Amino acid sequence: MRTTPETVAELIARQWGDHRPGLKSEDTVLSRHRTAQEAAARAALLVDLLPPGAEPHLGVLLDNTPEFPFWLGAAALAGAAVAGINPTRRGPELARDILHTDCRILVTERAHLPLLRGLDLPGVRILVTGTEEYEALLAPYAAAKPGEATVAPPGPGSRLLLYFTSGSTGAPKAAICTQGRLAAAGDSLARQFAVTPQDVHYICMPLFHGNAVIADWLPALVAGAPVALRRRFSATAFLDDVRAFGATYFTYVGRAVQYLLATEPRPDDREHTLRLGFGTEAGAVDAARFAERFGVRLVEGYGATEGGASVVRTPDTPPGALGRAGAGDDLAVIDPGTGAECPPAVLDDRGRLANGDEAIGELVNRGRSLFEGYWRNPDAEAARTRDGWYWTGDLFFRDPAGFLYFAGRTDDRLRVDSENLAAAVIENILARWSDAAAVAVYAVPDEVAGDQVMAALALREGAVFDPEAFAAFLAAQPDLGTKMSPRYVRIVGAMPTTATNKVHRVGLRKAGFRAAPDPVWWSPPGADGYRPLDPQALAELLAAYEAQGRAELLDR
């Protein structure tokens, strides 16, 4: 019987002497013993390279190559911490991430060296994998064993990850994740999904983000299953990878599932070994389409890298819901303005949320939180844990049976004609439109007061936007409230996303309906259907904002 691990270091050390497959990447297959050996060598090198008195932190600026899990394992063995560095960051922002987390060592690869040119990184030593210098540095440590070299003996409270969480405003915050919490999370998921050594976990989401490490790498490590690495996510290569690696499980975030569904269907779409996908933000419609096309069940979960709250799916979870509160959590949907708990959702006979104003609020954990803080960011930490509660920053509503439904981020709330709406609810409805490959809904300022609904649509290959067909589709949706229909529709060639496949909403909101060169359609007040927002209409619209003194809101 598998024992519950106390640290990730223990999980790395368990691989020693195990010659079953441990890591697959392109044409390479390494045993579990070899992966532990590589981690031990890097742990010993790390201990020798860290300056005396320095924080035991290293930055990892890599794609999903074998070096990434090697260094995760090395940090665990050495009692150090990894800061996952996002390669989509640039210039001063990238330098800020490295310096903010007190990284004295940065591990990168040749492909990312151009990102570092001209950056002022005082006291940071850069190691470039795949070079002769790098191999020469590692060579003396080839015989190292797990546990021989440590900065400090690793324990459950040892920091292991400093993973940046994205935000719509301000610099990203580095969430602290300890070895004990991470080991427990991996063990919990391995048990929940009955992971065995015969499984193969396909890691196609970026390892600098918590999803790939916590929900993919760690459960495999706990169960003794190999992992298979894809350098960067590719929708067109997904099935080929799954077959080549014999993958049985993968994780996803953001719009990855929509990209997979947008690929050209093939007769052999169901001929593969995959049994399960686990992630967030696929939506009920796309999850059903994925299961129908590929024969693979998607399990939607909720739980931030910070660990402050979790929602667990149970067999009786209704469609559209994420589940109930995880063990030990006292979750409530709270009105941020009053601090009072929101009443249960009321759905009318057409499935529409009839009391969104009252029912939608911020998900709060009033019980024991696993949140371990942000690195050197006391203000953000205090905001997250105000009044002794953990505030997730996410909008939810709860049905009378206690099931929780995701309604978007707190900055995704729209207020149209004095009615509060949630972007995620509208997105789930628009995702039903057969011509849509990806959908994003967000607020743009109304010219008089409040907001209006705007939608960005990426169309399926070969589709052309038909305004009459789109309007007819909206009219046929029984759960689309009268104020939910988008006033503005932007047709994008591809949905703008972050490096973790989440929609880049900040850019969409900032562009608003002035989204040249993308075509924008609109439904003027009192008019039926959609028409192009041509230069004359745009000029008249902007003049209305000027007349109301609200033009500056369009630039926020």
Q: Is the pLDDT of residue 169 over 50?
A: no
Question: In the structure, what pLDDT confidence band is assigned to residue 527 with cuts at 50, 70 and 90?
Answer: confident
> Tokens in use for 540?
């008249």
What is the reported pLDDT for 168? 42
What is the reported pLDDT for 486? 95
Answer whether 10-24+31-192 and 194-262+274-280 agree in fold.
yes
**Which one of 3.30.300.30, 3.40.605.10, 3.40.50.720, 3.20.20.60 gives the CATH number of domain 435-555?**
3.30.300.30
What is the reported pLDDT for 1? 60
Q: What does the pLDDT average to over 337-350?
A: 88
Give dist(CA 49, CA 44) in Å, integer: 9
Question: Quick one: which of 441, 434, 465, 459 has its CA closest to 533?
Answer: 465
What is the reported pLDDT for 446? 86
The CATH classification number of 302-412 equals 2.30.38.10
What is the reported pLDDT for 336? 87
Lowest mean pLDDT among 22-26, 186-190, 448-452: 448-452
Of the CA atoms within 13 Å of residue 517, those in its CB half-sphere come to 1
* Cis peptide bond upstream of 517, omega within 30: yes
Chain-centroid distance of CA 555 in Å reads: 27
What is the reported pLDDT for 418? 59
pLDDT in tens, 93-149: 899 999 999 999 999 999 999 999 999 999 999 999 999 999 999 999 999 999 999
CB 342 within 8 A of CB 333: yes
Phi, psi of 527 (to 5 degrees): -100, 155
Give the CATH fold of the 194-262+274-280 domain: Rossmann fold (3.40.50)
In which residue are the tokens 């427990």 written? 184
Question: Quick one: which of 440, 535, 554 has its CA closest to 491?
Answer: 440
Q: Is the pLDDT of residue 228 over 60?
A: yes
Lowest mean pLDDT among 218-222, 238-242, 473-477: 473-477
Q: In what order do the strands lie in the sheet with 390-398?
A: 331-334, 361-365, 390-398, 404-409
Name, of 18-22, 314-318, 401-405, the range with top average pLDDT.
18-22
Residues 6+ apart with CB under 8 A from 183: 5, 6, 7, 8, 10, 11, 156, 218, 222
What is the reported pLDDT for 314? 85
Question: In the structure, what pLDDT confidence band is assigned to residue 338 with cuts at 50, 70 and 90?
Answer: very high
What is the reported pLDDT for 166? 60
468, with CB counted inside 10 A (0-12, 13-18, 19+), is exposed
What is the reported pLDDT for 41? 98
Give dist(CA 302, CA 310) in Å, integer: 6
> Tokens in use for 76?
């665990």
Q: What does the pLDDT average to over 530-537?
A: 94
Of 158 and 87, more confident = 158
Q: Is the pLDDT of residue 556 over 70?
A: no
CB 115 within 8 A of CB 135: no
Give dist(CA 428, CA 374) in Å, integer: 32
Cβ neighbours around 52 below 10 Å, total: 4
Q: What is residue 289's three-state secondary structure?
A: helix
CB 540 within 8 A of CB 547: no
Point out which residues pair with 278 in neighbouring strands. Answer: 251, 299
Q: What does the pLDDT average to over 504-509?
A: 85
Give dist(CA 479, CA 461) in Å, integer: 28
Q: What is the largest CA-CA distance in the chain?
A: 76
Of 466 and 500, more confident = 466
Domain 10-24+31-192 listed as CATH 3.40.50.12780 = yes
Give dist(CA 395, CA 420) in Å, integer: 11
Q: Is the pLDDT of residue 81 over 80?
A: yes
Mean pLDDT of the chain: 91
Question: In the structure, what pLDDT confidence band is assigned to residue 207 with cuts at 50, 70 and 90?
Answer: very high
92, with CB counted inside 10 A (0-12, 13-18, 19+), is exposed
Domain residue ranges of the chain, discontinuous segments joined by + = 10-24+31-192, 194-262+274-280, 302-412, 435-555
Q: What is residue 356's three-state secondary structure?
A: helix
Q: Is the pLDDT of residue 86 over 70?
A: yes
Q: Is the pLDDT of residue 167 over 60?
A: no
Q: What is residue 3's three-state secondary structure?
A: coil
Chain-centroid distance of CA 54 in Å reads: 31
Q: What percent of the chain has pLDDT over 90?
A: 69
Say if strands 390-398 and 404-409 run parallel, antiparallel, or are unpaired.
Answer: antiparallel
Give dist(CA 136, CA 145) in Å, integer: 19
CB 106 within 8 A of CB 58: yes
28, with CB counted inside 10 A (0-12, 13-18, 19+), is exposed
